[in-house]
């Protein structure tokens, strides 16, 4: 494992970053290049208007809204179960992870707590959504840099995780499995044993990625020192998840969020991975370790599922008492939070969706200034955003 600590490497990175900043001052009339909305490097329909001087980007401004579905408006005319079915379409790669914070916010307002078995199942599926999401990133980063083979390994091994999610919830991409007060159904027989096999496949996939990409000198040259984000700038823009941990900030809501009662991360011993550099290589490395960490979390949880019911006492027609609640969880892409305001009716009065990729992307105008065109693609790939998450 390539642990970068020596000062020489950090000095090299700092020099690279400052050199890129200086030569952007030359105000020549450049060429405007539209990257997107129909472009292989944007995960969905994002358009970046970049003003180029030769190959160097003078300034880049992402244009969004091609996939704006207006979730916050829709949520105001839907009942709580309907919103859960709707809301797992925001980050469609790790979609169970979208439902959990909304349900936790509603449970907080209704003063209801899910029984332990339901919390265990909820945490297991939450981590499997993270594995499914980040496995695709590990493969996709390769294809953005030109290596076509890793992404096929990613899809091949991710398929087993999706099959397990489908076996338990019924839907591969949109499980709609979380309910206020617990989960919809229990795990089918033999599920735990099959899930363990799919986790072994993911672990061997991580080792393959380590050999194929991390060890590859070309990959290292393309990603080290590219898109360096210092910790304080990351915080000012609200970056979250692996992006901020790769800049050296040791912060993970799964461990540091006391108010959360819905997930059982305190029953499992696991480690939060950080990296001092803050460049694209660090973001890739942190996410690779996080996938391995999630595999071990799911393994421990599978071994200790308590007996008991999977649904608390909740009335059939759910009317959430008036009040406001904000719950945020550590989703695969970063922090996703729901600010639910309820006036006691069948539907929420207002749902503010704090999505991770929206804030992660808000740093790109600052970050892409002075980079080369191929580096724009590397940085976008390493920030790892999903368009549904940005446009909501």
Partner 1 sequence: MPSPDPENTEVEVDEPRQGLLDSITQHLGDAVVASHLAPGRELWVRVETSAWPEAASVLQRRLGYRFFDWLSAIDWMESPYGRSMDAEVDKELGLVETEASEAETVAPTGADGYAGGESRMQVLARVHSIDAQLGVTLKADVPDMSIGTWTNTFPGAEWHEREACEMFGINFEGHPGLRPLYLPSDFQGNPMRKDYPLLARIIKPWPGIVDVEPMPEASDQGASTTNPEAAS
Partner 2 sequence: MTSILALDYGYGGSVGLKLLLAFVAVLIPAGGTVYLYLFKMVSFMQSRLGPMEAGPFGSMQLLAEVGKSAQKEDIFPESADRFVFAAAPYVVMVSTFLLVLVVPFGPDAVFVNFDTGIFFALAVSSVSVIGILMAGWASASKYSLLGGLRAAGQLIAYELPLVLAVVGVVVQAESMNMQDIVSAQYNGEIFGWAAIGNPFILTQFAGFLIFMIAVQAELTQTPFDMPIAESELVAGYMTEYSGFRFLMFFIGEFATANIFAFLGATLFLGGWTVPPFVTDALGVEITDNIFNFIGPAIMGIKMLALTFVVYWVRFTYPRFREDQLQRFAWKVLIPLSLVNIVVTGLFKVVL
Partner 3 sequence: MGLLPGGLVKGLGVTLGEIVKTVTQGAQTVQYPHQKEQPAPRSRGVIALHEENCTACMLCSRECPDWCIYIEGHKDLAPPRRAGGKPRKVNKLDRFDIDFGLCMYCGICVEVCPFDALFWTPEYEYSEPRIADLLHDKTRLSQWMQTVPEFESYEAGAEVKVKKVPR
What is the DSSP code (8-state) at residue 229? -
- Number of residues that this document lists for the chain: 392
| Residues 294, 127 contacting (CB under 8 angstroms) | yes
Q: For residue 47, what are the contacts with CB-CB under 8 A and spacing of at least 6?
A: 34, 35, 36, 37, 39, 62, 63, 64, 66
SS3 337: strand
Q: Which is nearer to partner 3, 223 or 243 (CB)?
A: 223
**CA 214, CA 10: separation in Å to the nearest integer?**
18
Residues in region 44-103 near partner 1 by CB under 8 A = 64-65, 68, 70, 72-74, 76-77
Nearest to 355 by CA among 102, 139, 91, 156: 91
Residue 315 in the binding site for partner 1 (CB under 8 A): no
Binds partner 2 (CB under 8 A): choice among 88, 98, 144, 382: 144
Q: Which is nearer to partner 2, 48 or 103 (CB)?
A: 48
Binding at 366: pick from partner 2, partner 3, partner 1, none (beta carbon under 5-8 Å per type): partner 1
Residues in region 48-87 near partner 3 by CB under 8 A = 78-79, 81-82, 85-86
Residue 12 in the binding site for partner 2 (CB under 8 A): no
CA distances from 251 to 146, 196, 330, 359, 385 (A): 32, 28, 10, 16, 19
Residues in region 176-235 near partner 1 by CB under 8 A = 232, 235
**CA 230, CA 24: separation in Å to the nearest integer?**
19
Residue 24 in the binding site for partner 2 (CB under 8 A): no
Residue 248 in the binding site for partner 3 (CB under 8 A): no
CA distances from 343 to 74, 76, 119, 327, 337 (A): 17, 11, 27, 18, 20
Q: Which string of x and - marks every residue 338-377 that binds partner 1 (by CB under 8 A)?
A: -x-x-x--xx--x-x-x---xx--xx--x-----------
Cis check for the bond before 161: say yes or no (omega within 30 of 0): no
Binding region for partner 2 (CB under 8 A): 31, 33, 39-41, 55, 142-149, 152-153, 156, 212-213, 216, 218-219, 221-222, 372-377
Binding region for partner 1 (CB under 8 A): 64-65, 68, 70, 72-74, 76-77, 108, 232, 235-238, 249, 251, 256-259, 317, 322-326, 328, 335, 337, 339, 341, 343, 346-347, 350, 352, 354, 358-359, 362-363, 366, 391
């Amino acid at each position: 494992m390539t642990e970068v600590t020596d000062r020489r490497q950090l000095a090299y990175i700092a020099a690279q970053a400052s050199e890129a900043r200086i030569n952007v001052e030359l105000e020549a009339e450049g060429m405007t290049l539209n990257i997107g909305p129909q472009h292989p490097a944007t995960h969905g329909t994002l358009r970046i208007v970049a003003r180029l001087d030769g190959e160097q980007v003078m300034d880049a401004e992402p244009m969004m809204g091609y996939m704006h579905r207006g979730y916050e408006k829709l949520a105001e005319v839907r009942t709580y179960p309907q919103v859960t079915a709707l809301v797992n379409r925001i980050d469609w790669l790790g979609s169970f992870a979208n439902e959990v914070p909304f349900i936790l916010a509603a449970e907080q307002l209704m003063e209801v707590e899910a029984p332990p078995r339901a919390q265990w199942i909820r945490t297991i599926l939450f981590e499997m959504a993270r594995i499914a999401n980040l496995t695709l990133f590990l493969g996709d980063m390769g294809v953005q840099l030109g290596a076509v083979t890793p992404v096929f390994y990613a899809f091949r091994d991710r398929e087993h995780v999706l099959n397990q999610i489908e076996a338990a919830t019924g839907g591969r991409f949109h499980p709609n499995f979380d309910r206020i007060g617990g989960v919809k159904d229990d795990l089918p027989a033999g599920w735990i044993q099959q899930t363990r096999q799919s986790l072994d496949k993911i672990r061997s996939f991580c080792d393959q990625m380590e050999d194929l990409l991390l060890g590859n000198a070309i990959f290292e040259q393309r990603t080290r020192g590219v898109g360096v984000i210092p910790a304080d700038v990351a915080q000012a823009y609200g970056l979250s998840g692996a992006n901020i941990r790769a800049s050296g900030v040791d912060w993970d809501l799964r461990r540091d969020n006391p108010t959360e009662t819905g997930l059982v991360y305190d029953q499992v011993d696991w480690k939060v991975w950080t990296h001092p550099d803050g460049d694209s290589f660090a973001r890739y490395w942190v996410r690779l370790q996080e996938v391995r960490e999630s595999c071990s979390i799911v393994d421990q949880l599978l071994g200790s599922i308590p007996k008991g019911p999977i649904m608390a006492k909740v009335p059939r027609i759910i009317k959430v008492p008036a009040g406001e609640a904000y719950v945020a969880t550590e989703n695969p892409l970063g922090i996703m939070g729901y600010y639910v305001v309820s006036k006691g009716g069948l539907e929420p009065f207002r749902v503010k969706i704090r999505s991770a990729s929206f804030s992660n992307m808000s740093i790109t105008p600052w970050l892409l200034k002075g980079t080369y065109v191929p580096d724009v693609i590397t940085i976008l790939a390493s920030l790892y955003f999903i368009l549904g998450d940005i446009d909501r």
